[in-house]
Structure 1
């Protein structure tokens, strides 16, 4: 005969299904597992919210982001359209897992109410086997669901990350000078990684929470509508209390996160190569250490408050998990409300009730998760929607770099940088015949480097055009233009890689002999040969292993290796001492033979032998001619020469 609560007292019925029990399966998208967004929020980061049993609030920055750049849901769904088959399978697996896992409490009821009292071994074996089968099936489905959802998420993120990186490379140099440092990296890494969490975990977690909560509620009603009604009265205030405590902890951890960010910033700023150099030259090491100690001390109090708030949160949850089953036991034990409920039914019901709390908490976070997720998409889509200031031509002119003669013309060019109060260059016209050399001289800010940037198409003119062999550089494919025009600027840049890899950036197929020939032409071969690893020596972050002059000579060697028909030297020898400058200048003079060379220099001694010298002032051409002609005319160039000679005498 089936045991009932009115006939038999069961001490701690359902104890094996205590507060931590849940009908959901412990796989990545189950209601038990917090999504990356909730984990981020638990730490006080963007998006706000809590992890297990936590709570999310909508970050005002996310609201502002969506107000400025709303995201249509159709655009987000379009990212998944190529993977809709796998997405459908993932959803089906989540629903199936939630439904199958609900069989567990009913099997327990059958064991407690029927198999054990009747000593029905066959039924006992079937029920126990069913419990094992349910566990195995849900776990296998969980593994499959994790594999599919991660695969879809990774593919979508790969496609999106690649699109953003490729699109940003098309932006002009002006975009990167206007954009706050670290912003590009943050959107490409942090935001895209955050979206990865949305794709692979948050979406599946919401689906699992919803299906589990609905299926569990239906099963609770099927077992006992009276106890289900009691749960509907008790669970809402319990959820409210748990969420309120979680929000208190979130406020504390948000402060903690901000102080940790300050601490990390001080570490990054104070212990970088540039930061240490600045501290030692300005004598700020003691002040930096004191500031670091102050921030670290503030973290001590915040950590105490955070731990205490976390303990309060856990205590509240444990009380809730104890109170709810206790009330169920009370209602089941009272004659007025028990209605002959069996022990097995009670065990099954408390198991289901324990399992419904977490998915309901998860569903309370849906709104905040949705806003946070859309804000991430909005930030990334903003970059994808950027229109390049220097767009690549839709139908580029076909031009073989090997056949380029190198005739350069600057025809009525005017350019004003955004926010500037005057033109950087205005109405500039210059012609540089193929194979000739042009030197641009003038005071700082006269527009010399702007002309170099226009030729390499780092900027586009507001008026006029720049041509190579009669072809507007705006009509050339960017890769073709880069192979035609080689630039060595006053700010040399070396990647954190071996010397060999830095040189091969110019020509990946170059042989070792060609690498050494380029280094020799740049007067740096002996230095590289003397290094322990020679060409395989790592240059260090931004080339800090080498002096400024050595970095510049390596950059010159890289351009020599590219062997462009048009060479632009923008203060290429500015970081060199006098003797090295002379040696490098001889190498550059030899390199310039047979190719068009435009040289920008403050040291007038390096441009005396140029075929033509153009003097710029405030972006305008004021005079041009050979060195002797300009000195004889007594104009600005003559004044510059006289000033340079006086400086040499003083030194």
Structure 2
């Protein structure tokens, strides 16, 4: 992921190396000041060396700022690429992935996991190179000053490395648990604080229990955060204490060397060495801490790359077939489909042809594969056997852009973004004019309602469109599809959740949308599909019957049974109402009774006439 920025990274490496080399020059100048310039009273050399130390500090600081600027820019670009890559990967995932994955889990990986990687990506890599270069340069300079003191300084380094690796492994394990807990909390928030979640929680009286459940999740996260921050803290503190005590050890070692006759160490060399050693400790400790942070970050990288490494099941063809004007001829050729290779097939040996401009209705009991069949045309799923053809071309050979322009879907669950009405409609056609929006809304019979809103087409629809009724949302979805103007239209139980009156209004909008298009309708309410050119009855994934409404009714088979079942509740209600209304005792010619009479048979002018039948109880 860093490869596209290797030029800038090379520049960072040069700045790091130059900064490290310049910084180790300062102790050598300090030695010359203490051993030569001051004892010999060479004022000119002293001034030159002092100026050199100041310039060294200035150059090191400038190099550090430039290095930070470039490395942070590169790191943020990599973060951007990573976020975009994960989002694009998820956009390519099949619908099945989202049916088995909680939305909050996906959001947590993009927000929390990638956010947690930011420090590693933006600064850790640079810190690693910088500190490693500083450590190497300092050790080389220390050897040049005195190899014996350098050997004493390096004795405990392997122990420090071992401690830091153990701390890193411990933090990695805790970080994995922490990120998993954060994902669980995000999923809880997404589900329980959505509009649907709030409605369910309050109507079920579960607000307090949901709050307690969230508090328990948060309590577990608190424990993991404390454990993550304290993991290895005492061991790393021990390293700091030992490194802080090392100057005393160096002075002691220099004194022993002098007493044993091993060769005198000058005051300038000793001070310069301690200065280098102190300069070594900072990057050394930072390097060990960086190692710990990198091991910890591996837990985050693993969670992110679990998504990036997911196989993309529905892919764009390498050489997509170009379709000119799409006629809309749809054909299912020996189609088989199963959601999982271990599961029983959902569809088997389905052969259907819907000519351009024709209409197909698919009915059947729940679980018969109706919706699944409609998902295969826009490639929300790919067939496991056979082919789905659009104008004679396998849909798997068409580009996604071509397919999305050719096939429009209006489903039962209408999704609207938390944006204005106009923005929701323009999701189908970003460059649509206001006139085109109005024309589409009029065709969907929703324009008058939008125009009556305080802000008209600029009105916010609210979370998931909850400011609108079910029928209004459905008509907005239809207007959105009209704006896209697809030659093939999939209607997946688009009116099944609506009341009869609203259904009639939506059905008129659907009729306007369907005109001149190839239409495949998945329906529970059979009254909406009687005029279809072809009706197919699915049962356990197989075609049980096919024909027009009249043909299937004459056969008196499965379809006729479904029609009778569909119409039975209405008949029963009518019969019940008729049974509740008694006939008049006086016969057909009976005079109506007068409400509010005077008692002598005369009706006052303000009285209301009614028949005995009006006294019957009302049947809902």
Q: TM-score range by the shorter chain?
A: 0.7 to 0.9
- Residues 412-439 of structure 1: CA distance to partner in whole angstroms, max 9, x if unpaired? 2222221563322221222222222221
Which deviates further from its counterpart, 274-283 or 238-247? 238-247
Q: Output aligned runs, 1:124-139, within 5 Å.
A: 124-139=46-61
- 1:481, distance to aligned residue in structure 2 (A): 1.6
Q: Where does residue 259 of structure 2 map in the other structure?
A: 336
Aligned length: 571
> Is the aligned partner of 1:485 residue 2:411?
no
> Is the aligned partner of 1:357 residue 2:318?
no
- Residues 317-365 of structure 1: CA distance to partner in whole angstroms, max 9, x if unpaired? 5533442222223334555169544443333222221222343345556
> Is the aligned partner of 1:460 residue 2:405?
no
Which deviates further from its counterpart, 456-465 or 477-486? 456-465
Q: 1:641 aligns with which of 556, 563, 567?
A: 563
Q: Where does residue 345 of structure 1 map in the other structure?
A: 269
- CA root-mean-square deviation: 3.7
Q: Secondary structure at the match of 2:468?
A: coil
Q: Secondary structure at the match of 2:565?
A: helix
Q: Secondary structure at the match of 2:422?
A: helix
- Residues 563-621 of structure 1: CA distance to partner in whole angstroms, max 9, x if unpaired? 11211111112232221210121122133222221211111111122222221111222
Q: Where does residue 322 of structure 2 map in the other structure?
A: 398
Unmatched runs of 5 consecutive residues or more in structure 1: 1-75
CA distance in 2, matches of 1:315, 1:373: 21
Which deviates further from its counterpart, 626-635 or 189-198? 189-198
CA distance in 2, matches of 1:329, 1:197: 38
Q: Where does residue 362 of structure 2 map in the other structure?
A: 440
- Residues 471-501 of structure 1: CA distance to partner in whole angstroms, max 9, x if unpaired? 3322222211211111111222223332222
CA distance in 2, matches of 1:353, 1:572: 75
Q: Where does residue 520 of structure 2 map in the other structure?
A: 598
Q: 2:550 aligns with which of 594, 609, 628?
A: 628
TM-score by length of 1: 0.77
Against the structure 1 CA distance between its residues 616 and 260, is the aligned structure 2 distance closer, same or farther, given a 3 Å change threshold?
Answer: closer
Q: 1:537 aligns with which of 455, 459, 463?
A: 459
> Is the aligned partner of 1:123 residue 2:45?
yes
Against the structure 1 CA distance between its residues 551 and 348, is the aligned structure 2 distance closer, same or farther, given a 3 Å change threshold?
Answer: farther
Q: Output aligned runs, 1:545-624, within 5 Å.
A: 545-624=467-546
CA distance in 1, matches of 2:161, 2:455: 64
- Residues 598-646 of structure 1: CA distance to partner in whole angstroms, max 9, x if unpaired? 2111111111222222211112222222223322321111111111222
- 1:108, distance to aligned residue in structure 2 (A): 2.7
Q: 2:395 aligns with which of 473, 476, 480?
A: 473
Q: Where does residue 595 of structure 2 map in the other structure?
A: none
- 1:316, distance to aligned residue in structure 2 (A): 3.8
Q: Secondary structure at the match of 1:102?
A: helix
> Is the aligned partner of 1:205 residue 2:127?
yes
Q: 1:111 aligns with which of 6, 29, 33?
A: 33
Q: Secondary structure at the match of 2:155?
A: helix
CA distance in 1, matches of 2:300, 2:175: 22
Contact 1:97 1:138 in 2 (8 A): yes
CA distance in 2, matches of 1:607, 1:290: 49
CA distance in 1, matches of 2:367, 2:171: 54
When Rg is computed on C-alpha atoms for both structures, the one with the higher figure is 2
- 1:241, distance to aligned residue in structure 2 (A): 6.8
CA distance in 1, matches of 2:303, 2:171: 28
CA distance in 2, matches of 1:396, 1:255: 44
CA distance in 2, matches of 1:625, 1:296: 59
CA distance in 2, matches of 1:621, 1:411: 13
- Residues 166-213 of structure 1: CA distance to partner in whole angstroms, max 9, x if unpaired? 454344323443556456555656666666655543333222222211
CA distance in 1, matches of 2:176, 2:300: 19
CA distance in 2, matches of 1:565, 1:176: 28
Contact 1:245 1:312 in 2 (8 A): no
Which deviates further from its counterpart, 287-296 or 407-416? 287-296
Q: 2:427 aligns with which of 502, 505, 510?
A: 505
- Select the structure with the greater relative contact order (CA < 8 A; seq sep ≥ 6): 1
CA distance in 2, matches of 1:378, 1:250: 11
CA distance in 1, matches of 2:393, 2:206: 54
CA distance in 2, matches of 1:451, 1:187: 32
Against the structure 1 CA distance between its residues 151 and 548, is the aligned structure 2 distance closer, same or farther, given a 3 Å change threshold?
Answer: same
Contact 1:235 1:357 in 2 (8 A): no
CA distance in 2, matches of 1:420, 1:436: 36
Contact 1:413 1:427 in 2 (8 A): yes
CA distance in 1, matches of 2:101, 2:513: 37
CA distance in 2, matches of 1:260, 1:174: 24
Contact 2:358 2:518 in 1 (8 A): yes
Contact 2:537 2:558 in 1 (8 A): yes
Q: Secondary structure at the match of 2:251?
A: helix
Against the structure 1 CA distance between its residues 419 and 299, is the aligned structure 2 distance closer, same or farther, given a 3 Å change threshold?
Answer: closer
Contact 1:239 1:361 in 2 (8 A): no
Q: Where does residue 582 of structure 2 map in the other structure?
A: none
Contact 1:110 1:344 in 2 (8 A): yes
Contact 2:176 2:299 in 1 (8 A): no
Q: Where does residue 443 of structure 2 map in the other structure?
A: 521
Unmatched runs of 5 consecutive residues or more in structure 2: 574-620
Q: Output aligned runs, 1:222-233, within 5 Å.
A: 222-233=144-155
Against the structure 1 CA distance between its residues 239 and 414, is the aligned structure 2 distance closer, same or farther, given a 3 Å change threshold?
Answer: closer
Q: Secondary structure at the match of 1:567?
A: strand
CA distance in 2, matches of 1:298, 1:175: 28
Contact 1:191 1:380 in 2 (8 A): yes
CA distance in 2, matches of 1:535, 1:447: 38
